[in-house]
Amino acid sequence: MPGLCRDCDARADTAPCPRCGGVRVVRHAELFHLATAHIDCDAFYAAVEKRDHPEWRDKPLIVGGGARGVVATCCYIARLSGVRSAMPMFKARALCPEAIIVPPDIARYAAVSRQLRAMLERLTPQVQPLSIDEAVLDLSGTEALHGAPPAIVLSALARRAEKELGLTISIGLARNRMLAKLAAERGKPRGFTVLGQEAAALLAQESVGVLPGIGPAQARRLASLGVTTVEQLAALDAGMAARLGQEGAALVARARLQDHRPVQPERESKSISAETTFSTDIADRAGLEAELWPLCEKLGRRLHREHQAAAGLVLKLKTAGFEQRTRSLRLSAPTQLPETIFESVLPLLAREAEGTRFRLIGIGAAPLAAAALADLGDLADTASPRRRARQEAIDRLRARFGDHSVQRGRALRSLGG
């Protein structure tokens, strides 16, 4: 079976490597034929902190908010004590009292992310960033350029990232994006995992929750239909898939390990927004607020879906005479919460709603921040974690029963209820 030494890039069928004696040998029948790769940095924020503070290398490290906040990420040493991302800080402190705790420094992390992306783009123009620490690559047709198949190019990339950036990355290599992501997740940290034709048999008896897009609420819904494994979901016919709603056919396709999404090398979003044009002009503040609230909910959903948070907000208004007004503010802390977005932008709206007739209103998030930094809270902000938990509960109910199954009082008032 073809093999590759990850320490020297020699083709090695067995370990240790006959050239360098290294034991990190990856072997797979399709190793030198697959070209879709998922790159995922290991404990990214914590890795950057330890790189910049070598004295912390062998100590547990947590990146997160204050005593009432949550864990943004933690190093693998801290994970041995049970600490996990999104865990309340008081619980993380109790599990690992000796941990070093530092607040997130998103600007520094973003700078390192850009350096890594430059490395990726030297391998192929087909690079699609997924978040600050993840990207997917299509290396098809690059063997002639690099003089080596994608597997060898990726192995060299991992060593270069470790040497030049002080980061370790995990790599998944497969025939499509979804399988590449699943492969990367199975090998962390410092992993290089390949999923080929054996993937269907390998994943058959695993929980449906292993598939992207199937969270706890969806998994419970599937379980109520007697579907708990990937194999059972893949076996559903069109009629049963329809019982799962609009996403049913897509869920079954995922279980069959089908993914036809191309790698799209678009630049990362600089802003995310939502807007609406009124059927008739609105001048009063209450009417404008009623139109603004559902846009804040829509913006919150989009931020969550794209793994982003709002570090600032932009209010957009267009008068009846087509004059456009934009007003902006910076937030004290990133957020994804519609309630926080709405309350933060109300003072901007109040200053504009003085009798002018408007035909359009919009709300945007700019600049953006990483989702992991959203709504952490601290001693001066004890409300954000509670709001975040409440919004997550609402999202779970809506995922199960539909977008209109749960409405806030503000939304009902805007509908005249």
List residues with catalytic annotation: 134
The interaxial angle of helices 150-160 and 106-123, nearest 10 deg, is 150
Q: Evaluate whether 369 touches 106 at the Cβ level (below 8 Å).
A: yes
Contacts of 369 (CB under 8 A, 6+ apart): 106, 308, 309, 310, 311, 334
Q: Evaluate whether 37 touches 156 at the Cβ level (below 8 Å).
A: no
Give the number of other CB atoms < 10 A from CB of residue 328: 13
**For residue 106, what are its two tokens?**
């998103």
Contacts of 401 (CB under 8 A, 6+ apart): none
CA angle 261/247/177 to nearest 5° reads 20
